[in-house]
Structure 1
Amino acid sequence: MSGLIDSVLDFARGRLGGGIALQQVSSDSLVPVLDLIVAELRTAWPDRVIETDFTIAQPFSCDRERVAQLFSNLLANAITHGAADAPIRTKAWTHGDLFELSVANVGEPISLAAVEHLFQPFYRNSLRPTQQGLGLGLYIASMIAQAHGGRLDVTSTPAETRFTFRMPVNSWVPS
């Protein structure tokens, strides 16, 4: 319930022009936070294989709690919508002047028509009786990416669906 309330509050702040609030800290402690998210989701879904490759070679400023929220939303979506018998691959790394975080899964590809609406509030690509949430996760994740001066992209083919968050490592100034 608390997560749903926080999502609605983030949505309201975003729609009212205040944007997502960020707290700038060093990324030095980002890998343990990402590892914690993976551990929590592995506990909730012990039958799912989640592979990690976290190689952050240079420190940079970000709001690690918001990046963790973005990552958690993407990873939970991959678990929910991906093929149960295929691993989910996660990667976080720095290269050049970019930080990238990606989550990839195998499963039914997202249609081009749905891709156009994925980052809009309350959009849900498919509804199942067991599906929970308000359809705000990807919208909030994209707002977090934008608040960091970055972007969240998706590619979806029959081979894989991949969400990638990219942000510059040297130019983020919190709003």
Structure 2
Amino acid sequence: MTEQLHTTANTRSAISPEHLARLLQISQRLSSTLRLDDLLSLVMDVATELTHTETASILLVDRSTGHLHFAASTRGEVPRDIVVPLDSSIAGWVVRHGRSLILDDVQTDERFYANVDEDLEFVTRSMLAVPLVTSQGAIGALEVINKEDDKDYTGQDVALMEALASQSAVAIVNAHLFSQSDLIAEIMHELKTPLMAISAASELLTRPEIPQEKHGELLGMIKKESNRLSKMTKDFLDFSRLESGRMRLAREAVAIAQIIEEVVSISQAQAAARGIEISLNLAPDLPTSEGTTAVIGDADRLKQVLLNLVSNAVKYNVANGRIAISATCQENEVQIAVADTGPGIEAEDIEHLFERFYRIPGSESAEGSGLGLSVAQKIVEEHNGRITVASTVGEGTAFTIYLPVTAV
């Protein structure tokens, strides 16, 4: 194995005028890109371009656990439950020491964390890893992997990557701050409506001219809006934890049929109040918690997702409508569908459904946090699954959850 440590300026090559011009150009784009996913994608594209390398990855430190997690990778979808320890990984060494590292033969290095290669059926041969450092310390590492034609990484590559990493680290912190401030502003805006309703009802209750028979109505409004605030707060916390990677999900075999049946049982009263019938069609071969194959995940969080979908199907359905819930197992994945007979959703609205606080025009007064579907999507993605929606105006809407089935 050949290992090179780059710690002083004289081990780096000077950056060529062409590359310097490219870095300046990228700097402007980095500073103006405030969506974190777009920013990380841009950094990886530029890293592979500048170093003529096969793939790139960005790992960030989770401050709540002290470990690294994959924030982005060009190697494909990295399983979200992969945690890379700081103490026994290449990226961890780079973050801890704040120094760049070239490995010409990664497979023989005792710090190599092979789990990712195994999950992605990928072979890491060579690597250049540089720390992402801010004034508050290292926040993660940027890696480029497998230089083209199996060439060695050079001092020029180190200089380029360190320059890019320096710009990127600041941009990543700014994107995080923007996301948080943006979310807080949106949360405050959403909280304003129920708080104003509670304040107005409370004020009216103190006025002697308000008839006694109106007191029950006002108290009912206060209770309703208080419950709404409680749900909104829970959704805000869930979304924030999912967004930051601080939510830790259980990883155990779950009984899909049991989860669905519990959701239907909980939802029956809400549906009956609107005369809505719920039908259930569960395939007999659905994975259980005790079989040889299973859906691995968090039963409570999956129940939360389904409760949200069924609750929406009741809320936005027509009176005396129907909800059909089905689950099948096909091609190593479970498909769970929740279909309603509501008014349907226009095509231009479907693409925005999973955006936080988005509401379909005409439904702005509906109760809820505006985060339910965003939270549901993130939970499903944490299970390495996906959620889709199809709708026909005047006929209804169907949401489908796809969850991978694995051998246990």
Partners of 1:74 and 1:136 in 2: CA distance: 12
Q: Which has the higher contact order (CA 8 A, sep 6+)?
A: 1
Query: SS in structure 2 opposite 1:45?
Result: helix
- Distance change (3 Å), C-alpha of 1:44 and 1:23: same
TM-score by length of 2: 0.39
Question: Following superposition, which runs of at least 4 residues in structure 1 exceed 6 angstroms of deviation?
Answer: none
Which residue of 1 is the match for residue 152 of structure 2? Answer: none
The one-letter code of the counterpart of 1:123 is Y
Check the 8 A contact 2:304/2:376 in 1, yes or no.
yes
Q: Which runs of 5+ in 1 are unaligned?
A: none
Query: Which residues in structure 2 correspond to 1:6-85 (within 5 Å)?
Result: 6-15=234-243, 17-18=244-245, 20-28=247-255, 30-46=256-272, 47-55=275-283, 57=285, 58-59=287-288, 60=294, 61-85=296-320
Cα-to-partner distance string for 1:4-63 (whole Å, 9 max, x where unaligned) = 322111111233x216431122123x3223212111211223121001112262341221
Which residue of 2 is the match for residue 148 of structure 1? Answer: 383
Query: Is structure 2 residue 358 aligned with structure 1 residue 123?
Result: yes
TM-score by length of 1: 0.86
Partners of 1:104 and 1:152 in 2: CA distance: 13
Which residue of 1 is the match for residue 372 of structure 2? Answer: 137
Partners of 1:88 and 1:165 in 2: CA distance: 16
Query: SS in structure 1 opposite 2:356?
Result: coil
Q: Which runs of 5+ in 2 are unaligned?
A: 1-226, 289-293
More helix by share: 2
Query: Is structure 2 residue 343 aligned with structure 1 residue 111?
Result: no
- Distance change (3 Å), C-alpha of 1:42 and 1:18: same
Larger radius of gyration: 2
Check the 8 A contact 2:231/2:368 in 1, yes or no.
no
Query: More displaced, 153-162 or 116-125?
Result: 153-162
Identity of aligned residues (%): 29
CA offset at residue 133 of structure 1? 0.8
Query: SS in structure 1 opposite 2:379?
Result: helix
User: Number of residues paired by the alignment?
Assistant: 168
CA offset at residue 64 of structure 1? 1.2
Partners of 1:160 and 1:43 in 2: CA distance: 21
Query: SS in structure 1 opposite 2:406?
Result: coil
Cα-to-partner distance string for 1:121-163 (whole Å, 9 max, x where unaligned) = 111114254x211111111110011101111100011333110
Partners of 2:263 and 2:379 in 1: CA distance: 17
Partners of 1:55 and 1:27 in 2: CA distance: 16
Query: More displaced, 79-88 or 52-61?
Result: 52-61
What RMSD over aligned residues (CA atoms) do the two structures have, in Å?
Answer: 1.9
Cα-to-partner distance string for 1:39-90 (whole Å, 9 max, x where unaligned) = 1211223121001112262341221111111100100111111222221000
The one-letter code of the counterpart of 2:363 is L
Query: More displaced, 46-55 or 69-78?
Result: 46-55
